[in-house]
Amino acid sequence: MPKNQDFRFSIAPMMEWTDRHCRAFHRTLSRRAWLYTEMVTAPAIIHGDRARLLGYSQAEHPVVVQLGGSNPALLAQAARICADFGYDEINLNVGCPSDRVKGGNFGACLMRDPALVAECVAAMQAAVSIPVTVKCRIGVDDQDVEEALDALADAVLAAGCARLIVHARKAWLKGLSPKENREIPPLDYDRVHRLKARLPHVPIELNGGLVTLEDARAAGAGLDGVMLGRAAYQDPDLLLEVDAQVHGETPPHADAFEAIAAFEPYIAAHLAAGGRLHDITRHMLGLFGGRPGARTYRRTLATEALVPGAGLEVLRKAVAAIRRPLAKDDGTRTGTEG
């Protein structure tokens, strides 16, 4: 498998989280993890500020843009724009259960209309030369997960879908909030494995409920890749282990201290361009979780990085707290995965 198609480990697209600064930070921690944008709707790309919505650092590759929509013509137009920006892949969201997504007739509700999803995939794939993939659930509401996932998979694969990423839960579009949809419907990893057994030559990634690399290795055995969302965001230290544990390669940095030092030039460039420190450090709060000084580290970044004019000295002050022999502390963490 070519290195640029080695998607054994991915970080899920998450609204309000996986922006360009988050992705640049995650890339500092792992050379090999596949990165995803937040979901962007096709109309937003066509009519909106493309530089803001689609801009990214060349260091982020491999990086995938996730699109939301259900109009084949609009998705094809948006896909062309994304391909021109240099993204490595286009992913269609057929998994997000939020009210805003349902109102726009895209996301998880499209599990009910495999033929339309196939039209969308075919239109996008005809418009671009890069792969088009689909991220979906195993079903929604009262659907039979055996029939629903097979129908969706067969339809999009026939239309040219290059890979399936399956969040191994149903989405309940009535009665559960988006947060509850990430936690309450039971995980069914076996259903994803049955799909792989039926389609052994189709690349299939597993998503949903994976907390550690050990969890991912066990649950994803026999599949082509695993995708972590909230766990990777909330505990970015684990990303320092991805290259070694998943790919058998030397990590880009020996530890989080070294990674932060290597990330400082990116932060400095953002500040020099008029950006705020908090734009970036809000994605770094999960580092050092459970270590002495972690609470002080988080508090420093969460408060002082918001002050107008805050610079690298605030980050350095926060990091310095970790080196002090303070008592071990804990902390609560929070996201929205698409």
- Per DSSP, helices labelled H in 174-293 are 178-181, 189-198, 213-219, 230-234, 242-247, 256-272, 277-281
Active site residue 96: yes
Residue in 228, 234, 215 with CA at minimum distance from that of residue 335: 234
Cα separation, 43 vs 16, whole angstroms: 18
Whether 206 and 226 have beta carbons less than 8 Å apart is answered as: yes
Whether 175 and 53 have beta carbons less than 8 Å apart is answered as: no
Long-range contacts from 103-107, C-beta under 8 angstroms, 24+ separation: 104/41, 104/68, 104/69, 104/70, 105/70, 106/41, 106/68, 106/69, 106/70, 107/68, 107/338
Cα separation, 210 vs 216, whole angstroms: 6
Cis amide leading into 62 (omega within 30): yes
Whether 321 and 293 have beta carbons less than 8 Å apart is answered as: yes
In 3-state terms, the chain is what percent helix, strand and coil (to 5)? Answer: 50, 15, 35
Which residue of the set 22, 96, 109, 120 is catalytic? 96
Residue with tokens 């029939």: 147
Whether 11 and 232 have beta carbons less than 8 Å apart is answered as: yes
* Active site members: 96
